[in-house]
Structure formats: structure tokens, C-alpha cells
Amino acid sequence: MLPIRRDLHFALPAERIKNWHEQGPFITHFFNALSLLFPQGELFFMDSVRHYRKHIENPQLKKEVQGFIGQEAMHSREHVAYNDLMQAAGLPAHTLDRRLKVMLDLQKKHLPASFNLAVTIALEHYTAMLAEILLSDPSRFGVSVQSYQQMWHWHALEETEHKAVAFDVWNTVIKPGPKRYLLRTGTMLFTTVFFWLVVFDFHLRLLIADRRAGGHLKGFWRMLKFLYGPKGVFPRMALPWLHYFKPGFHPWDHDNRARLDGIDRLVEAVQGPHEEQANLQP
Ligand SMILES: [Fe+2]
Ligand SMILES: [Fe+2]
């Protein structure tokens, strides 16, 4: 699976940034909170993988790493534009982004590169799990504003496409054995706590800043169902999360490459068929 860099731009209507999801501002701000993690988070992923680039000899994996970095760079750029819309709408996007930057810069500076790569593969597993939840059930977005949906779908598709790249780098550069297993799984436990605390904190801050969101109390109940209900995001993640703890786990154990069939249609819908080829780079 060779990830392809797709240079797409999304014309997101600024006036809908606080309420683009079909089910109202509460769920809109859950996705907005995730969006706030991406510019700094994806920079962290790229740096963690880049650190080990010189140790990779396999030409296929080298190309995949190039594709991975290309895709994450595009995601980061588009989420910066997305987050700027939040800032312009009076939400504290830049403050939260700076806070995350301080935390991740400290982590990059003071913690070992192997730990940072372990955090990267744990979070890549998270993005792959979230992507599968979005791609497997179109009703998650329903009739939300189209360009916002398209952007999340594009990101989910490419997270699926490159879900194993950082993991294959990990398997190549870290010595196999019980120490590697313990570092990978222990880091997943640490990352799980850290990741959800940050998402929860950012979500709450966006809701507090968007006072009008409180007027949609029905939306609060919908959000609880969306996140924690029987078909909610969290229960759906329980099993794939546990799979990560299998000693021989690999992201493609769950073969969902069929989801990628829709990618060309999406690119065409976003930019039109004539531009499509010009903007695809291996
Ligand atoms: Fe990404
Ligand atoms: Fe990713």
C-alpha cells in the first residue's frame, strides 16, 4: 500500500464552523476539538518518523515514508486553515494549539526517540480506528455541511491508506523482543489517557467559548449517544483497541482496504476531474 499525497483544498463555509454537523454544535465541537490536535500532532508524527529515516534501507518502505509525510503535511495544512476559522469565530483555537505545541516540543526535546515513535504508532492506531468508524457508517455525518464532511472523509481515507507506515518503521528500527512489546503496549496505555484528556479538555473549552451551543440542549443528549451509546464512538473502539495488545499485532490484520475504493470519487467531487491527475503525487 503506497500512500499518495493528494493536494486538496476545501472551501469550508466560515459561518458554519460552530455548527456544521447534522446533529448540532455539541458534536461539531467534538470534531473541532480533534481538528485542533492535528497541526501539532501530525508535525510530531512526521518528526518521529523522520528521525529514523536514515536507518531504513528497504526502498518500498522509503517510498511509503515519503507518502506518509506528504499526506500528513497536507492534513496539517488543511487543519490549520480549518482551525483559523474557529479562531476568527471567537473560539480559542490558537491558544489551545500553542498549549499543545509547548507540551509536544518538551516531549520531543526530553524523551527518547523510541518513545516518541511508540506514541506515534499508538496515535496512528487511534486515527485508523476513528477513520474506520467514520468510513463504515455514513450516518455518522448524515446531512452535515458537505465540504466539512468531505474534508473529514479525505482525512479518514488517507489515515487508512497509511495506517501501517509508522508501524512498519517501528518494526524495522526497534529491536524485536519483550522490551519492544512492553514499550509499544505501555505507551498505548499512557497515550490513551493523555489523548482523551486533551480531547475532553479541548472539547469542553470550545463548548464554554461557544455560549450559543448551550441553547441546543437536545444536542447534549445526542452527543452522549454519539460518543458513548451502544453504537457510539467509544464502544466501537474497544475491540480494535484491545487488538493492539496482541504480541504480533499489525495494522493490516484488519484488512479494510476496500474502503479506499471511494477515494477517486471524493477527489473528483472536491476538485473536478480535470485537476485530479495534476495534483496526485506518489
Ligand atoms: Fe493525518
Ligand atoms: Fe496519520
Q: What are phi and psi of 280, to 5 degrees?
A: -100, 125
The pocket of ion ligand 1, defined by CB under 5 A, consists of: 72, 75
Q: How confident is the model at residue 67 (pLDDT cuts 50, 70, 90)?
A: very high
Question: Is 237 part of any domain?
Answer: yes
So what's the pLDDT on residue 211?
A: 82
Residue 148 in contact with residue 12, Cβ under 8 Å?
A: yes
Question: Is 233 part of any domain?
Answer: yes
So what's the pLDDT on residue 281?
A: 47
The residue segments making up the domain with residue 73 are 22-273
**Average pLDDT, stretch 5-28?**
94
Q: Is the pLDDT of residue 79 over 60?
A: yes
Ligand 1 centre and the CA of 216: distance in Å?
Answer: 30
Q: Is the pLDDT of residue 37 over 70?
A: yes
Q: How confident is the model at residue 29 (pLDDT cuts 50, 70, 90)?
A: very high
**Average pLDDT, stretch 68-80?**
97
Ligand 2 centre and the CA of 43: distance in Å?
Answer: 10
Ligand 1 centre and the CA of 59: distance in Å?
Answer: 23
Please give the Cα distance from 214 to 207 (Å, whole number): 8
Question: Is 142 part of any domain?
Answer: yes
Q: Is the pLDDT of residue 164 over 50?
A: yes
Ligand 2 centre and the CA of 88: distance in Å?
Answer: 27
Question: Is 163 part of any domain?
Answer: yes
Ligand 2 centre and the CA of 107: distance in Å?
Answer: 19
Ligand 2 centre and the CA of 38: distance in Å?
Answer: 9
Q: How confident is the model at residue 124 (pLDDT cuts 50, 70, 90)?
A: very high
Q: Is the pLDDT of residue 216 over 70?
A: no
So what's the pLDDT on residue 219?
A: 80
Q: Is the pLDDT of residue 280 over 80?
A: no
Q: How confident is the model at residue 66 (pLDDT cuts 50, 70, 90)?
A: very high
So what's the pLDDT on residue 276?
A: 45
Domain count, the chain: 1
Question: Is 11 part of any domain?
Answer: no
Question: Is 45 part of any domain?
Answer: yes
Question: Is 280 part of any domain?
Answer: no
So what's the pLDDT on residue 215?
A: 64
Q: Is the pLDDT of residue 27 over 80?
A: yes
Q: Is the pLDDT of residue 277 over 50?
A: no
Please give the Cα distance from 78 to 38 (Å, whole number): 10
Ligand 1 centre and the CA of 218: distance in Å?
Answer: 31
Ligand 2 centre and the CA of 216: distance in Å?
Answer: 33
Q: How confident is the model at residue 26 (pLDDT cuts 50, 70, 90)?
A: very high
Q: Is the pLDDT of residue 282 over 50?
A: no
Ligand 2 centre and the CA of 179: distance in Å?
Answer: 25
Please give the Cα distance from 1 to 223 (Å, whole number): 35
So what's the pLDDT on residue 212?
A: 78
Question: Is 211 part of any domain?
Answer: yes
Ligand 1 centre and the CA of 214: distance in Å?
Answer: 30
- pLDDT tens for residues 150-160? 999 999 999 99
Ligand 2 centre and the CA of 265: distance in Å?
Answer: 21
Ligand 2 centre and the CA of 39: distance in Å?
Answer: 11
Q: Is the pLDDT of residue 107 over 50?
A: yes
Question: In this structure, what is the dihedral angle of CA atoms 37, 275, 4, 270, given to the nearest 10 degrees?
Answer: 40
Q: Is the pLDDT of residue 275 over 80?
A: no
Q: How confident is the model at residue 214 (pLDDT cuts 50, 70, 90)?
A: low
- Average pLDDT of the residues of the chain: 93
Ligand 1 centre and the CA of 237: distance in Å?
Answer: 18
